[in-house]
Amino acid sequence: MSDIDSDFIRLVTLLTENRDDEAKLLVRKSLASLRRRRPDLASEVKVAASALETSPLRFSVASPLPVDSESRLELLRREVVTDLSPEPIWPLVVSELLRQTVAEQESFQELLAVGLTPARTVLFVGAPGVGKTLAARWLARELHRPLLVLDLAAVMSSLLGRTGANLRTALEHAKLVRCVLLLDEFDAIAKSRSDGADVGELKRLVTVLLQAIDDWPRDGLMIAATNHPELLDRAIWRRFDRTISFPAPSSAEVMALFRRLWQGDLSADSASLVSASLTGASFADVNGLVADARRRAIVRSAPPESALVEVVSNRIRTRPKSDKLAVARALLALNLSQRQVHELTGMSRDTLRKYLVRGKDGSAK
């Protein structure tokens, strides 16, 4: 058996036994031998040797997840993302930054060869329902990596000092798996250390996070997502290679997602109702609306459009008065009668006449 065959078998044995230091020594030896035998591969060997020194050896993606010693709950959730039908919709600037992140990760060796590295830590900022978690799943799918999600409920322990240890354990595991790591609700563990309302244990989490971000593997990808950027510690902001702000979707983007999800014909009145009801909605609102309508259609054996109108109408009726007035105004502007608006929103005709006065041309004011 040749030396390279023996070295390969030995390397597999060392990796399965998690003897990383010995495995690295063996790889260094093999690379040195290869450089002597194949001088034409000298530049490729140099890049590989450099990557070996700067990146940890990886666990298998199927390695057991770390658990809390008290509750035995897993500190991370693993998702293998293969399908996101229909394809997500984001504003152009968000889509371009996400694609740039993928392109940089895929060009790791080329960047490394000229002394650069891809963005490895990315902060997502935006209101609930604008697509931050979906973007993390999209990145994992595009990079063909599993998505590991920090489970805050499991990480947060009632034992003094245990939360910080759990967080450190989870992050160390994720560093050794070629994955996309998502720290959702990031503000819960990265609050400003000047916040006097928090106990010292939570403040110590920021120190753990700062060290983890600084030490994150150059070919890894950490995503942190927050709905409350104003709560984050100042030092956290400076640590991220890239920040992507997810704005509230426009009416056109909301309706584009609806049409992509619904994939069916609607009458003009129904389309007007949906459009009016989704004013100011998030992408999550659209997903929930379509799912509810489909469930109602199946359970009640009702026509899909009829089920959709019922769901929309029920949602409008449970909104605050100011929201219902806004929807009613939009419907009247689309030339629906007061009777139709009353039936759809549940608002009395007296209320409609009181708050939504029509001009001489019949348009709503």
pLDDT means per 10 residues, the chain with 365 residues, are 69 66 76 84 81 62 80 91 85 95 93 91 94 95 94 77 87 89 90 61 81 89 94 89 94 90 87 85 92 94 92 85 82 79 82 64 44
Last residue of a domain, one of 246, 274, 298: 246
Which tokens belong to 278? 């989704």
How large is the C-alpha radius of gyration of the chain?
A: 27
Q: Are residues 224 and 308 in the same domain?
A: no
- pLDDT of 158: 59
Q: Position of tokens 């010995």?
A: 22
Q: Are residues 97 and 180 in the same domain?
A: yes
Alpha-carbon gap, residue 211 to 221, rounded angstroms? 15
Q: 35 lies in which domain range?
A: 3-54
CA distances from 198 to 4, 190, 194, 212 (A): 57, 11, 9, 21
In a domain, 360, yes or no: no
Alpha-carbon gap, residue 262 to 208, rounded angstroms? 45
Q: Are residues 89 and 222 in the same domain?
A: yes
Q: Which amino acid is present at 86? A: P
Alpha-carbon gap, residue 31 to 50, rounded angstroms? 11
Q: Which letter, b or e, does each residue of 270-307 get, where b requires 16 or more Cβ atoms within 10 Å of its Cβ?
A: ebbbbbbbbeebbbebbeebbebbbebbeeeeeebbeb
Q: Are residues 106 and 137 in the same domain?
A: yes
Q: Are residues 201 and 267 in the same domain?
A: no
In a domain, 286, yes or no: yes
Contact 73, 67 (CB under 8 A): yes
Q: Are residues 235 and 338 in the same domain?
A: no
86 preceded by cis ω (within 30°)? yes
Alpha-carbon gap, residue 1 to 207, rounded angstroms? 51
Q: Are residues 239 and 317 in the same domain?
A: no
The domain tally of the chain equals 3
- pLDDT of 121: 96
Alpha-carbon gap, residue 305 to 292, rounded angstroms? 12
pTM: 0.74
Q: Are residues 284 and 348 in the same domain?
A: yes
Q: Are residues 313 and 209 in the same domain?
A: no
- pLDDT of 59: 59
Q: Are residues 236 and 316 in the same domain?
A: no
**Count of C-beta atoms within a 10 Å radius of residue 205:** 23
Last residue of a domain, one of 246, 271, 286: 246
Q: Are residues 237 and 100 in the same domain?
A: yes
In a domain, 62, yes or no: no
Q: Are residues 106 and 229 in the same domain?
A: yes
